[in-house]
Amino acid sequence: MSIAASNTSMRVPAGFRNLLEGLAREVLREQPTDVVAFAAQYFQKLLESREAGGIDPVAWGAMLED
């Protein structure tokens, strides 16, 4: 069974690249044995920081990309 090729192009959402680069940098720095659990904790801390009125890393990353 073959799947027809599509001409649709997908774009990375604004700020997403910066968000993932931050995660990658921390993974390389910490060298966790469980990367998935580390990523979950990393994103949870970012979410808590944003909800506490801190800087939104996605919005900040989107500004950097512009």
| Torsion sign (Cα): 59, 60, 65, 66 | positive
Q: For residue 1, is it within any domain? A: no
Q: For residue 8, is it within any domain? A: no
What is the percentage of the chain residues whose pLDDT exceeds 90? Answer: 33
Q: For residue 28, is it within any domain? A: yes
- Which residues, including other chains, have CB under 8 Å from residue 36's CB and lie 6 or more apart? none
Domain count, the chain: 1
Q: For residue 11, is it within any domain? A: no
What are φ and ψ of residue 11, in 5° steps?
Answer: -110, 145
Q: For residue 5, is it within any domain? A: no
**Which residues form the domain of 29?**
16-64
**DSSP-derived 3-state class of residue 29:** helix
Q: For residue 20, is it within any domain? A: yes
Size of the chain in residues: 66
pTM of the model: 0.70
Q: For residue 21, is it within any domain? A: yes
Over residues 28-44, the pLDDT tens digits come to 999 999 999 999 999 99
Q: For residue 6, is it within any domain? A: no
* Residue keyed to tokens 């940098």: 25
